[in-house]
Chain A
């Protein structure tokens, strides 16, 4: 597609459940980023992929969060044992190369943990 696609756009889950959030980057973009945006805040970095490998995962808040990008295109952010504090908009972005910092964001997945 023309842009970064994220599915689902909204996800409501019960506390303690497992969720997966999907990101389809722009075709050919090697760099992929996940950010999280809480209400009233700016996006907060979670993890960066260059190709298939996680080049920087230092933003993941704890070991309940994990992300993969097995074929270097689609990425999945996985959250285990969700907590109410995980409620936020999860944003994915991609860029052609690592050096391109004005990257393109998707519309995000709004996660609500009840």
Chain B
């Protein structure tokens, strides 16, 4: 069963506009959420995270929103830049665990 789901395999936006990447989860025991970015032939790179006690976390151009009642989180990138083009993974951790459960990823392409 897929506990973390990213329903959009790909997203294309214009440079300077906002990119919104979405993620849904089913496990109520998840209490910490992360976004990773991955370039080809490289490992995933940690981008931003949010604890379940918050509903928003911001870091420069990146903001993560968490809606616990809907079991939904999103990553906003504004303004988008061509260098943001990568695969973005949503991940979640259970309260008592140490492992991360990842979504399938969304390929973001930012066009100049």
Question: Contact residues of A with B, CB < 8 Å?
Answer: 4, 31, 33, 35, 40-45, 48, 55-56, 59, 91, 93, 98, 101-108
On whether the beta carbons of B99 and A91 are closer than 8 Å, the reply is: no
With beta carbons under 8 angstroms apart, the residue of A42, A55, A98 that contacts B102 is A42
On whether the beta carbons of B99 and A45 are closer than 8 Å, the reply is: yes
Question: Contact residues of B with A, CB < 8 Å?
Answer: 4, 6, 32, 34, 36, 41-46, 49, 89, 91, 93, 97-105
Q: Total A-B residue pairs with C-beta atoms closer than 8 Å?
A: 56
On whether the beta carbons of A45 and B100 are closer than 8 Å, the reply is: yes
Cβ contacts A to B, 15 pairs, < 8 Å: A33-B99, A40-B104, A41-B105, A42-B103, A42-B104, A45-B100, A45-B101, A56-B99, A101-B34, A101-B49, A102-B34, A105-B36, A105-B43, A105-B45, A106-B43
On whether the beta carbons of B104 and A107 are closer than 8 Å, the reply is: no
On whether the beta carbons of B98 and A56 are closer than 8 Å, the reply is: yes
On whether the beta carbons of B100 and A91 are closer than 8 Å, the reply is: no
A45–B45 CA distance with the chains assembled, in angstroms: 16
